[in-house]
Amino acid sequence: MVPLGTRVAVLVEQKYEELEVWYPVYRLREAGCEVVLVGPEVGKVYPSKLGYPAKSDVSAAGVTADQFAACVIPGGFSPDYVRRSEPMLKLVRDLHAQGKPLAAICHGPWVLCSTNALRGRQATGYHSIKDDMVNAGATFVDREVCVDGHVITSRKPDDLPAFVRELLRALGMG
């Protein structure tokens, strides 16, 4: 089991990919983590690409990196919106500075492109953001999951089992 009280932030914004939010949320909860949905605004409902709601528990401005053991950055089109929120980026930058696991899937690494978290690392993501990732300093690899230090990346929803397995391992489960 994950150490009691392990809190994991899952970033939410409009147009997120449903599976990339909810699969990690439920797997992390099943493992004993406290999962916190973090959005730009507290209590706001963010619709997925298909309209499925995710209500933020807290705002990024209302929390600090010290309160979390790790962060999940889902894909879909939400990373493009996350990158427009300075408090959301600050949270990710601060988690990175503390060396805490940053798990980004599909278009999620777009958020990491707006930080220095990819610089000098191997990483993967959805093929259409490869150039962005390379320009942010990553060596792009095409595999279901890539772990380089505390940065965990995956390509697409089909990779979710490997993605969450590696995140749980990073949290001390494996």
* CATH architecture classification, 7-170: 3-Layer(aba) Sandwich (3.40)
| Catalytic annotation present for 96 | no
**173 confidence band (pLDDT: 50, 70, 90):** confident
Could you write out the three-class secondary structure of 58-100? EEHHHCCHHHCCEEEECCECHHHHHCCCHHHHHHHHHHHHCCC
Pair of tokens at residue 101: 């696991």
* Distance (Å, whole) CA 87 – CA 115: 13
Domain boundaries, the chain: 7-170
Digit-coded pLDDT (tens) for 113-167 = 999 999 999 999 999 999 999 999 999 999 999 999 999 999 999 999 999 999 9
Helix, strand, or coil here: 33?
coil
The residue annotated as part of the active site, out of 96, 107, 127, 150, is 107
Cα end-to-end span (Å), the chain:
9
Report pLDDT for 117: 98
- The answer to whether residue 1 scores a pLDDT higher than 50 is no
The Cα 126–Cα 70 span in angstroms is: 21
